[in-house]
Structure 1
Amino acid sequence: MIAESQDRFIDLHHEPDDPRGQSDRTLRLRRLGKLEDMGLATEHAPGVWELSERLEPTLREMGERGDIIRTMQKALRADGLERDPMSFQIHDAAPPTPIVGHVIDKHLSDELGENLTLVVDGIDGRTHHVAGIDPTRVEDARIGSIIEIGPPDSAGRPSDRAIVGMADDGIYRPSRHLEQARFDGRVPGGDYEGFVQAHVRRLEALRRAGIAERIDVDQWRIPDDFEARAAAHDAGRGVRANIRVLSTFDLERQIGSEGATWLDRRLVSAGTADLSAAGFGNDVREAMERRRETLIDRGDAIRHEDGGVRYRRNLIATLQEREVAHAGEDLAVKKALPFRAAVDGETISGKFTGTVQLSSGKFAIVEKSQEFTLVPWRPTIDRQLGREVSGIVQGGSVSWQLGRQRGVGL
């Protein structure tokens, strides 16, 4: 009908003589009636209809939404779950408010592998479909992992702030940035050229968006509102969603874990006010109660006569130390190398040889010739795999001192 319409009008007032034409006209009229109910067609005279200019995009969007809903239902069934489709929420970009829940589906949404789609069963009682996720942000997340997806970082990217800081009278020069980077000596691994080229690649992307202008190979024009426009560009594309993997372990594994879990952190601080009485929110309520009983049975918590529960002092740190010690002992057998636990305030050094994922979090393996230790992992150390590293253990984290920047914590 769209192809045969003239200026979006189609005339069906004449009834064909042949049975096939009559049948086709009847089907079209019935379809037009349905489109009229949807606000996408209008009958101006008997048999004379006007098709809405929104007809094609609206139906295409509805078809895509239908495909998404079927994908979400399939993922739920694969996980043995049932959710009301009315609770489905489809996000084309980063959600305006944080979503917390467990991953029930994770798949690439384009052929280039640059964008990921997640289906998250939320503690708010809704099932969320979030597209446009950077795959590198959720490499550790598996089906069942607990994650948080939040709105874009309004502060913008550090690279954008660096570009503005290096711009002189609105002109950014990569050569000047390279000189400054070498003078400061704070680039991980000493790859100064690669560091500056990363900023140039960012400018190339923003040039295509009309935000920056390339004058020549060593000059870029940076507008006064560069940071704000760059942040708005990222937010519009949905690629700057803030994502945290809260636990790679599903609820069942957390309940019996010997380490510090996401459930433990909720038990000692967050409570249940944000948990829906339905769906995954209710699952978390039940899991928290089972985890509480596990802690009581192990002597890490005490239930009072009034029903209240008091947890061991420094519960999270105690559980983490216990799990790390056991994981270290197991690794020591495989490595044929003694394990030594790091203590707060200690400077640790050695070769970064890999990572281990525990319920307490992700830990880096740092080896010396005679022993190895496990310390909390941070993304900044990934590029140092197989290299010598050094850092200070402080309050359950590590201030890493990498490459030529000895003495400068990252």
Structure 2
Amino acid sequence: MHQIEQDLGTRLEWVAVDHFNTGHPHTHIVLRGIDDRDQNLVIAREYISRGITMRAAELVNLDLGPRTTREIIAAGQREIAQERFTAIDRRLMRSLDENGLASPWHAHPTEQSLRAGRLGTLARMGLAAEEAKGRYRLDPALEDTLRAMGRRGDIIATMDERLRARPDIVPHDYVIHDPARAAPLVGRVLVRGQTGEHHDRRYLILEATDGHTHYVDLGSAAQLDHGRDNAMVRVSATPVQLRDADRIIAEVAAANQGTYSIDRHLKYDPSATQRFAEAHVRRLEAIRRGSDAVEWSPDGSWKIAPDHLDRVLAWERDRAAKRPVEVDILSDRPLEQMVRHNGVTWLDEQCVAAKPERLQGSFGARVREALNQRRQWLIEQGLAWGEDGAARYKPNMLASLRQRELRQVAGQLSQDLGLDYAEHRGGRIEGTYRKAVQVGTGKYALIEKSREFTLVPWRPVLERQIGRQVSGIERAGTISWRFGRGRSGPEIG
């Protein structure tokens, strides 16, 4: 860094950290963007892309000595057969002739040998075709193809490294999950990791019920809750599609000179409710947070472009590129703990599912064994019975298990809080919202009133109401909430 200060002619404020959390140990350096004259620190693009690397190489040479000719040649020869984009490929692409053809010819014999060898490799890979003696036409997608192959190789190496302690999992079973082509996956989380730190991309390695071990790119998923190790999860592609709300917004705006608002919506469609229109505003707010496809005005209205639907679809595609999959936690409990758990488990849902997961491979066999043990436990609990060699389940089995777990959690909370538990049986809810409580894979809101409390299904709208008075009424299984002590507060459906 002292050398960089000399090159830039200013003192620098910086911090550095060594990272060993990926397969490639590395160092991050963060510079303060102000020079020693309190002006913006400006660094030439060329210095960032090449100059810093050259300075680092000079310092390494001082410690270790310069690379010998033999080492340089050996490094180049290793690139000849690599299934990734190499420095030789870059030089070939820069030296195309007027007809767009690549040639191995070079004034330096070593470089000519490297180019000839690499062109032969590319031809065998189907990425170059010899059109004349010593003249090759490179595939237009050569760089993208080789970079994709390189990423695949890196992923396989990562899986080998992270699964080293699992000799029962062999590379033959590795699959790199492609959400655009593959069906949803169900499996157990073996590994969680991070790659491409500059973009904060994360991944999971799943042992799936299809008998394979899958590498799943989560994308920029810092906010995704993808479960603990050994959790059971479902992975599905992030949908890229327009919603009915998008079409309605475009329709209302088209009838109002490109402007949307709740008032305009209600006037355009007298049958719409306030709550229905507010849901459309929330959709617009979500789009605005992630793009410039819509524009909010201080009067509360929204400017909607004539090509609104195209813009929304582009935003959806961009969102899916950043987060290509959705991860649903089926159970935070390991498979072995589900067998005798006194609450609803993924195994129970599989028992009564019309189309249960296909179980293949060694993990599928373990799931089958766990299912058999769970069925036996359900029979012991009086929630199922055996008939003609098969298990039959009570119609209210899942509801009974859910209530068991809820009462168990409520009993522990009652001891901790010194309050009685009042089971919610529908109708009105009033009290102070204290916190969210995890019950199995579901969340419940703890509502305290006087000397008792109740637990009701949690919703995101409660997040900012901790310690505040809330009231709600349940209609058709959904609770509409009001916030504040008065009865005229805003209603959130």
CA distance change for structure 1 residues 216 and 261 in 2, over 3 Å: closer, same or farther? Answer: closer
- For residues 156 and 10 of structure 1, the distance between their equivalents in structure 2, rounded to whole angstroms, comes to 45
Aligned to 2:439: 358
Aligned to 2:391: 309
Aligned to 2:334: 250
- For residues 337 and 180 of structure 1, the distance between their equivalents in structure 2, rounded to whole angstroms, comes to 46
Q: C-alpha deviations, 1:295-325, integer Å up to 9, x for none?
A: 2333433234x31112344111111111111
Q: C-alpha deviations, 1:334-378, integer Å up to 9, x for none?
A: 2222223223x2433222222222336332222223111222333
CA distance change for structure 1 residues 186 and 223 in 2, over 3 Å: closer, same or farther? Answer: same
Matching residue's letter, 1:82: I
Structure 1 residues without counterparts, runs of 5 or longer: none
Structure 2 residues without counterparts, runs of 5 or longer: 1-87, 267-271
CA distance change for structure 1 residues 279 and 312 in 2, over 3 Å: closer, same or farther? Answer: same
Aligned to 2:416: 334
Matching residue's letter, 1:268: V
Aligned to 2:142: 55
Match of 2:287 among 168, 190, 202: 202
**What is the DSSP-based 3-state SS (H/G/I as helix, E as strand, rest coil) of the residue aligned with 2:284?**
helix
2:486 is the alignment partner of 1:401 = no
Aligned to 2:96: 6
2:374 is the alignment partner of 1:291 = yes
Number of aligned residues: 389
Match of 2:353 among 242, 246, 269: 269
CA distance change for structure 1 residues 252 and 170 in 2, over 3 Å: closer, same or farther? Answer: farther
Deviates more, 1:274-283 or 1:31-40: 274-283
Asked whether the equivalents of residues 156 and 228 of structure 1 are also in contact (C-alpha less than 8 Å), the reply is no
Matching residue's letter, 1:293: Q
How big is the alpha-carbon RMSD for the aligned residues of Structure 1 and Structure 2? Answer: 4.2
TM-superposed deviation, 1:108: 5.5
Deviates more, 1:323-332 or 1:26-35: 26-35
Matching residue's letter, 1:401: W
Scaled by the length of structure 2, the TM-score of the pair is 0.65
2:383 is the alignment partner of 1:300 = yes
- For residues 204 and 256 of structure 2, the distance between their equivalents in structure 1, rounded to whole angstroms, comes to 39
Matching residue's letter, 1:294: W
- For residues 460 and 295 of structure 2, the distance between their equivalents in structure 1, rounded to whole angstroms, comes to 32
Aligned to 1:278: 361
TM-superposed deviation, 1:264: 0.4
1:209-220 superposed matches below 5 A: 220=303
Matching residue's letter, 2:189: V
**What is the DSSP-based 3-state SS (H/G/I as helix, E as strand, rest coil) of the residue aligned with 1:82?**
coil
Matching residue's letter, 1:287: A
**What is the DSSP-based 3-state SS (H/G/I as helix, E as strand, rest coil) of the residue aligned with 1:256?**
coil
TM-superposed deviation, 1:27: 4.4
Q: Which has the larger radius of gyration?
A: 2
Match of 2:123 among 36, 40, 43: 36
Asked whether the equivalents of residues 149 and 244 of structure 1 are also in contact (C-alpha less than 8 Å), the reply is yes
TM-superposed deviation, 1:95: 5.9
Q: C-alpha deviations, 1:201-227, integer Å up to 9, x for none?
A: 7247554xxx66899997634226x33
2:232 is the alignment partner of 1:146 = yes
CA distance change for structure 1 residues 204 and 257 in 2, over 3 Å: closer, same or farther? Answer: closer
Match of 2:154 among 50, 59, 67: 67
Asked whether the equivalents of residues 350 and 388 of structure 1 are also in contact (C-alpha less than 8 Å), the reply is yes
- Using the aligned pairs only, state the percent identity: 31
Scaled by the length of structure 1, the TM-score of the pair is 0.76
Matching residue's letter, 1:167: A
Match of 2:253 among 167, 185, 192: 167
Greater relative contact order structure (CA < 8 Å, 6+ sep): 1
- For residues 390 and 79 of structure 1, the distance between their equivalents in structure 2, rounded to whole angstroms, comes to 52
Asked whether the equivalents of residues 88 and 128 of structure 1 are also in contact (C-alpha less than 8 Å), the reply is yes
